[in-house]
Amino acid sequence: MTAYEDLTAHARETMALGQIAGRLGWDQETMMPRGAAAQRGEEMAAIESVLHARRTDPRIGDWLAAIKSEDLDDVGRAQVRHITRSFERANKVPADLAATLARVTSTAQGTWAEARSNDDVAAFLPTFEEVINLKRWEGQALAAGEDVYDAMLADYEPGTSGADLAEMFNEMRPELTALRAAIIAAEQPKRLEGRFDESKQMKLTRQLAKTFGYDMSHGRVDKAVHPFSSGSGLDVRITTRTSETDPFNCLYSTIHEVGHACYEQNIDRAYLLTPLGQGVSMGVHESQSRIYENQIGRSRAFTSWLYTQMVEAFGDIGLDDAEAFYAAVNRVNDGYIRTEADEVQYNLHVMLRFDLERALMSGDLAVGDLEAAWNDRFAADFGYEVDKPSNGVLQDVHWPVGLFGYFPTYSLGNVYAGCLNDAMTQAVPDLDDDLAKGDTTAATGWLRSNVQTYGGLYEPRDMIAKASGMEPGPKPLLAYLNRKFSDIYKL
Amino acid sequence: MTAYEDLTAHARETMALGQIAGRLGWDQETMMPRGAAAQRGEEMAAIESVLHARRTDPRIGDWLAAIKSEDLDDVGRAQVRHITRSFERANKVPADLAATLARVTSTAQGTWAEARSNDDVAAFLPTFEEVINLKRWEGQALAAGEDVYDAMLADYEPGTSGADLAEMFNEMRPELTALRAAIIAAEQPKRLEGRFDESKQMKLTRQLAKTFGYDMSHGRVDKAVHPFSSGSGLDVRITTRTSETDPFNCLYSTIHEVGHACYEQNIDRAYLLTPLGQGVSMGVHESQSRIYENQIGRSRAFTSWLYTQMVEAFGDIGLDDAEAFYAAVNRVNDGYIRTEADEVQYNLHVMLRFDLERALMSGDLAVGDLEAAWNDRFAADFGYEVDKPSNGVLQDVHWPVGLFGYFPTYSLGNVYAGCLNDAMTQAVPDLDDDLAKGDTTAATGWLRSNVQTYGGLYEPRDMIAKASGMEPGPKPLLAYLNRKFSDIYKL
């Protein structure tokens, strides 16, 4: 066997074990009996320890060295690029630091949940300080003298820097705050109100999943506290949630997760259980979930069809026609919570976090000053004060569990979705006619063959550039948002 | 750290990984999307390969050698006994043989299922010959010059030999065939007939599981094609099945699996994720499932309560009173299929398989002669001819997947349950009064504190001897069966 064959056989088994760890995570959120948590913790630790040993296996270094003399095609070079990155990353972080981080962030999640439910920032500060110190230590190990935050970004979005993102956000912020202000000052459309049977929501949500091309023979839809997508290849499962008074939460969570899941399901099967057989980055992943959810799912054309489905499922839903339904789906509300934000305000929530986490990691912002910094920035961008920490600095689980550099990939996903949407609407001229019939085949088919099928073959920005035919940037997204919301709100 | 601490820490992680493999098996039968099978095959192979490497880790040999000079208590010695057995077993089988067996038996399962559905023995013979040759090769490696079949038994029931079992079966066979003949000649009680809503069956089955002490906070009940119990410690899940015309199948499958599951749930939590934290053998495991299902679940006292639950759930069930219900639950029917057999005939099915598999392994019976040998023996014990292979030699999955030495543990479980039942009825004088109220607490409590809590601490026969206060043997079971069925059938 060649070194390349040895290396990829090893990586394949590691990938299979990684899928198992993911499946355990799914089980934990959906099926696991509540008394099993302690045992599951040990099981997860055991498989993570196996995975860590495999990722740092010194034979990988030998194989990578030997491969330099082997002749590889594009696919082979991409596989080697992913494996090299993972191997170097795993070896940069000392094993005892990795173990301490795993233990501390696991405990921190509980401390944070408690602090959030009591709106008690002070109770979380000592733990948070420990998490931040450990993450900075890890960041320094990863950065090896370069920028710490950039090194963290590389875990989620290789090829992007803090400076790139700052430039992107600087372009977006004034336009979005201006659009937001104009909308808030305009007349608000009617909300969706009433009570909606939750089993009917689940029935409609499963139908929507299929409408967007989700393959139920390689997936399933369950309820969980948080919607998520899990797994790659032949077994990609999603969860959603229901609330009797808010069916949009269920339906649009499903469409969002279906976007993630279809990306994983539609990767070229030749890459199954290889490093190329997964979405290439968080940003590109989010571009798929967002374009399914927003540019397609919240379009006037598609919501006109969805309106008929809602009326069929629930009878009179208190909105006069498809146009009123379209406005209700896209209603922009004041609110503190990122996960409940609309297309216009979502990125304002993200850029607030981006600036603060970058300052935390550089040491420019002390953890003791974080709450005040959050509240000041929120008031500046949204025009009203944060009322309590659970609506402010304590709202997200990301920082407590050590995810720094993750938030900006949400906005990157929106920006990429904007670029892809421009290209998709040009490539599929009858798109709106199809969507108005509840037919997403042409749209999802274009995304499948221009993005999803490639898996990890191209670098994230290159992938979007290749698919959209443009250098990725926020202009298409901003133009789309201005167009769409100026129309809905008659600005 | 002492060698013992190193050894048991290593074993603990292996146990945790083993639990993960078990959970994947559960998922495959309950939740997995049908298109995921190929990927799941690779995932299972990956975790099995990790487990095999851990079980043969040469450090285990070093630790075991070093431990000889350490001072251990009873628990420590039992842990070391289990680990030694597993280590020696894993090292005796050459890796390439183990891999070939895994591959061949996996394929054989499909070939067998196809042959069974076509009633075509000839189509399965070449594969079956390959399986048997590989199993004999493995048996010879395990036996190291001793008896091959005994070496296979040690995988399921350490401390038992083929000769022991032959003696046990020789004592049982004449009594059981005589009892069976008398029953078949007697007047048959009325059957349960009608249609029983399957969702009501599931509701009642969950209630029954709780009635028998199954802890839902550490388990769950789902439907699957085959009923089974899966997992140890804090996460022990069971499955059952429903048939509209046969609610007994659902209810008694559940009680049976609850017996297995309670054994695993009730092991001393100090043994969690250690080699002692699992049922000690297949025979002792089956003793728990059988005593729950039969001596308790099919008793006159318990069925008098179950009758009221059935009437409450389904209305008129076509049986006049609790006594008619008791007779219907215990009705002895002619039939070819082991899994559908009653308490009297079940062991006749097992001893047929025991004699044939022992002869296959010794080489006294050629695979080409197996069908004829099966049919002759069946006619001799049951008094009528096998009508087709799917009702005869092709009915069970065990041999196709390489399980030789497994069948007799079913009867051993019955025999052990007979011993335990004698001791339990003496220790719990008001047992029937409790069971007639649907209260199994005293019975299951006795089994919990006299058997289940010990997990793997004692050797299987020692465990039964300690709990029952007698040398394990078939007499109590035979006396119980004669007593019970002479009464029901007025012999």
Establish if B52 touches chain A: CB-CB under 8 angstroms.
no
Tokens of A9: 């056989």
pLDDT for B103: 86
- Cα–Cα distance, A220 to A198 (Å, whole number): 18
Give how far B196 is from chain A: nearest CA, Å: 25
Tell me which amino acid residue B307 is.
Answer: Y
Give how far B31 is from chain A: nearest CA, Å: 8
- Tell me the pLDDT tens digit for each residue of B106-160: 889 889 999 999 999 999 999 999 999 999 999 999 999 999 999 999 999 999 9
- Cα–Cα distance, A481 to A175 (Å, whole number): 10
Burial classification of residue A430, based on how many CB atoms lie within 10 Å of its CB (0-12 exposed, 13-18 middle, 19 or more buried): exposed
Tell me which amino acid residue B60 is.
Answer: I
| Residue contact A33–B219, C-beta within 8 A | yes
| Residue contact A35–B233, C-beta within 8 A | no
If we measure between CA atoms, which residue out of A207, A295, A314, A216 comes closest to residue A254?
Answer: A207
Report chain B's mean pLDDT, rounded to a whole number: 96
- Reported in sequence order, the residue ranges of B151-246 that DSSP labels E, i.e. its strands, are 221-223, 229-230, 237-240
Give the nearest chain A residue to B49 (CA atoms). A13
Q: Between A and B, how many residue pairs show a Cβ–Cβ distance under 8 A?
A: 106
Establish if A141 touches chain B: CB-CB under 8 angstroms.
no
If we measure between CA atoms, which residue out of A151, A145, A10 comes closest to residue A85?
Answer: A151
- Cα–Cα distance, B458 to B448 (Å, whole number): 15
Q: What average pLDDT does this structure show over B389-404? A: 96
Query: Is position B385 annotated as part of the catalytic site?
Result: no
Sign of CA dihedral A179, A183, A189, A192: positive
Tokens of A142: 């990863």
- Cα–Cα distance, A312 to A329 (Å, whole number): 17
Q: Which residues of A are catalytic?
A: 257
- Tell me the pLDDT tens digit for each residue of B436-490: 999 999 999 999 999 999 999 999 999 999 999 999 999 999 999 999 999 999 9
- Tell me the pLDDT tens digit for each residue of B319-331: 999 999 999 999 9
Residue A72 has φ and ψ, to the nearest 5°, of -115, 150
| Residue contact B234–A39, C-beta within 8 A | yes
Choose the closest CB to A216 out of B33, B39, B272.
B33
Q: Specify binding-site residues of B for Zn(2+).
A: 256, 260, 286
Domains of chain B and any CATH numbers: 3-156 (no CATH), 160-491 (1.10.1370.30)
| Residue contact A31–B220, C-beta within 8 A | yes
Mutation for A interface: B39, B220, B222, B278, most A CBs within 10 A: B39
Strand order in the sheet with B237-240: B221-223, B237-240, B229-230
Chain B residues touching residue A234 (CB < 8 angstroms): 33, 35-40
Mutation for A interface: B23, B57, B59, B206, most A CBs within 10 A: B23
Q: Specify binding-site residues of A for Zn(2+).
A: 256, 260, 286
Q: How many CB atoms within 10 Å of residue A414?
A: 25
Chain B residues touching residue A273 (CB < 8 angstroms): 39, 42
Helices first, then strands: H and E counts in chain A:
20, 3
Q: CA dist A448 to A443, B17, B334, Å?
A: 9, 36, 58
Return averaged pLDDT per consecutive 10 residues of chain A, 491 residues in all: 96 97 94 93 92 96 96 97 96 91 88 95 96 96 96 96 98 97 96 97 98 98 95 98 97 98 98 98 98 98 98 96 98 95 97 98 96 97 96 96 97 98 96 98 98 98 98 98 98 94
pLDDT for A95: 86
- Reported in sequence order, the residue ranges of B199-320 that DSSP labels E, i.e. its strands, are 221-223, 229-230, 237-240
Pair type for strands A221-223 and A237-240: parallel
- Cα–Cα distance, A49 to A366 (Å, whole number): 33
- Cα–Cα distance, B126 to A467 (Å, whole number): 53
